[in-house]
Structure 1
Amino acid sequence: MDIQQLKNFLILSNILNFRQAAEQINIVQPALSRQIQLLEKEVGVLLLNRNKRTVTLTAAGIFFQKEVTRILQDLSKTIVLTAQLHNGEAGEVKVTHASSAMNTVVPSFLVKVKHKWPNLKTIVQETSNYHQIEMLLTRKTDIGVAPNIILPAEANSKILYKENFVLILPSNHPLSKKRLTDLSILKNETFILPQLSTGIGYVETILQICQSFGFIPRVAHESAHSMAVVRLVEAGLGISIEPISSVRDVNMNIKLIELKNIPQKAEMKLFWLREREEELSRFIAMF
């Protein structure tokens, strides 16, 4: 059977007159009769009761009519949805991101997508650099956004922006009232940072900052989430270094010291699989 056969059956099942149905379909009556016979043979049941005066649906024909109507409606929806997916107008796009990206580029991207493609579902997940790479390679995400991330060869990227890092201290920290120019004074402090294994590239940049002032930070607590880091600093459990956007508009008992005079910057990268670049180009262009 083919789609046209099913459509012709539906027309006949509604009109229940071979001559009128054939005229509507624009074929001769014997051809329509032959189509229905072949359909019944393939289905294996009689769909229509016929005599010289009347045509009626059998019980099986009534069921078949309802199911074929549903199937053809679903097929029509599928065809439309497929075209929308091709044009980026429906389906879903998955985005992983670092904490600071949610304070900068991610919300504006979501607004643009919603405005351009209202039926497109966006799935957003905050996670570490390591897990972003893992999800990208296994195609559990389409696009990632992270600072200073070191990417595998399979990925391509572009830098969205650069910004300064900030030193985060508890508000009552002895250094909070001082003007810091030499960060070597932090060598005996306890730090709160992401794990080196999960903060791929990002943690290395913070270590470079510390090492450029002659020390390796002593890490007592680890967290990949900026708000968790800030809460731990506020509680007096250590100090930290974060991109300035991570603590934008944060109203907590902390002291922020912007590190303007160091060469290391937080570089926010947008990244994706090279082999999917053409497919994702419309989304990449929106960042």
Structure 2
Amino acid sequence: MELKHLKSFLAVAERLSFIRAAEHLHLSQPALSAQIQNLEEELGVKLLYRTRRVVRLTPEGEIFIEEARATLARAERAIQRVQKASRGEVGQLRIAFVSSAALEIVPHIVTLARRKLPEVSLDIRNMRTSLQLQSFRDNAIDVGFLRLPLQDDSLRLQVIHREPFVIVLPASHPLARRDRIKLADLRSELFVAYGRHWAPGFFDAIIRLCTDAGFSPNIVQETGEMYTATALVAAGVGVAILPRSIVLSQRQDIAIKPISPKLAVSEIAIATRKDRDTPMLRAFLAIATSCSRL
């Protein structure tokens, strides 16, 4: 049974006229009659009673018209769904993000993706960099938002956000009263750091900033959350070097100082596996890059 036979049957059944049905389908009347005859022979029942003047549904035709409509509707939904899938508009994406991307980056991208891809289910998880890397290896996530620097040959990385590092001090710290300070001014300070265990590349970048300034930081406290690092600075545990967006929303009891030169920047990239490239991933990446703040 072919879909075109069902369409021809419905055209006749709804108009009760072979002439009007043939015109609607852009078929000749003999071709249309042949399709209806083939359908009836395949089913083994008479669907239409017809004379030169009258066309009407048989009792079997009355039943079959509803089934034919439902079958064509299901076929149309299947066609639409597979076409949407080819454009990346249907499916599920598992997305992980570091908490430091939760304030300025991820919410806007996710909101836009849900509006533009309403039939894509977004499974969103807060996940540290080290766990994201393992989850990529386990094929447990499809997309990650990560702080750079990062070296992983299995991942495709695209920078979507860039911001300066800043020095974070307790508000009561003597250096907090200065308009500008140098990294070298921190050589004798105690440091709070986002630990190497959770983000090795990021930790090493902070160490490199300090060594380039002529000293090795005395780290007395490591933490797995940048917002916790800010709270520890406010409590007087030490000073920290963090991305600016992390501390802008938590300015109570802390002072923020810029780092010179301005080349000292922190970047967030969107990551996907190099061996995966689907229309859905490409559609999401296009939305994410359209929100880029470079």
TM-score, L = length of structure 2: 0.68
Kept after mapping to 2: 8 A contact 1:207/1:217: no
Q: CA RMSD in A?
A: 4.1
Alignment partner for residue 68 of structure 2, among 55, 65, 74? 65
* Identity of matched residues, %: 18
Aligned to 1:75: 78
Structure-2 change in CA distance of 1:267 and 1:55 (3 Å)? closer
- Separation in structure 1 between the aligned mates of residue 105 and residue 171 of structure 2, nearest angstrom: 29
Task: Supply the AA of the counterpart residue of 1:119.
Answer: K
Show CA shifts across 1:17-70 (max 9, x none).
Answer: 5565456442425412333225525xxxx5836476642353642541342243
Structure-2 change in CA distance of 1:6 and 1:239 (3 Å)? farther
Q: CA deviation at 1:150?
A: 1.6
Aligned to 1:255: 255
Q: CA deviation at 1:82?
A: 4.4
Aligned to 1:149: 149
Unaligned runs of 5+ in 1: none
Structure-2 change in CA distance of 1:215 and 1:198 (3 Å)? closer
Aligned to 1:218: 220
Within a 5 Å distance, the mapping from 1:49-64 to structure 2 comes to: 50=49, 54-58=56-60, 60-64=63-67
Aligned to 1:48: 47
Kept after mapping to 2: 8 A contact 1:22/1:32: no
Structure-2 change in CA distance of 1:40 and 1:139 (3 Å)? farther
Structure-2 change in CA distance of 1:216 and 1:126 (3 Å)? same
Show CA shifts across 1:170-203 (max 9, x none).
Answer: 323465447563323124x5x252x433324112
- Separation in structure 2 between the aligned mates of residue 72 and residue 176 of structure 1, nearest angstrom: 68
Q: CA deviation at 1:107?
A: 6.6
Task: Supply the AA of the counterpart residue of 2:201.
Answer: G
Aligned to 1:266: 266
Q: CA deviation at 1:263?
A: 7.8
Task: Supply the AA of the counterpart residue of 2:257.
Answer: I
Alignment partner for residue 189 of structure 2, among 186, 189, 192? 186
Within a 5 Å distance, the mapping from 1:150-189 to structure 2 comes to: 150-159=150-159, 163-173=163-173, 176-177=176-177, 181-187=184-190
Show CA shifts across 1:72-115 (max 9, x none).
Answer: 441353365346x26xxx4477764444445666577678x67x
Task: Supply the AA of the counterpart residue of 2:166.
Answer: V
State yes or no: 1:34 paired with 2:37.
Answer: yes
Structure-2 change in CA distance of 1:81 and 1:158 (3 Å)? closer
Structure-2 change in CA distance of 1:38 and 1:241 (3 Å)? farther
Q: CA deviation at 1:242?
A: 1.0
Structure-2 change in CA distance of 1:177 and 1:240 (3 Å)? same
TM-score, L = length of structure 1: 0.69
Aligned to 1:140: 141
- Separation in structure 2 between the aligned mates of residue 20 and residue 163 of structure 1, nearest angstrom: 67
Kept after mapping to 1: 8 A contact 2:207/2:216: no
Kept after mapping to 2: 8 A contact 1:192/1:229: yes
Kept after mapping to 1: 8 A contact 2:169/2:240: yes
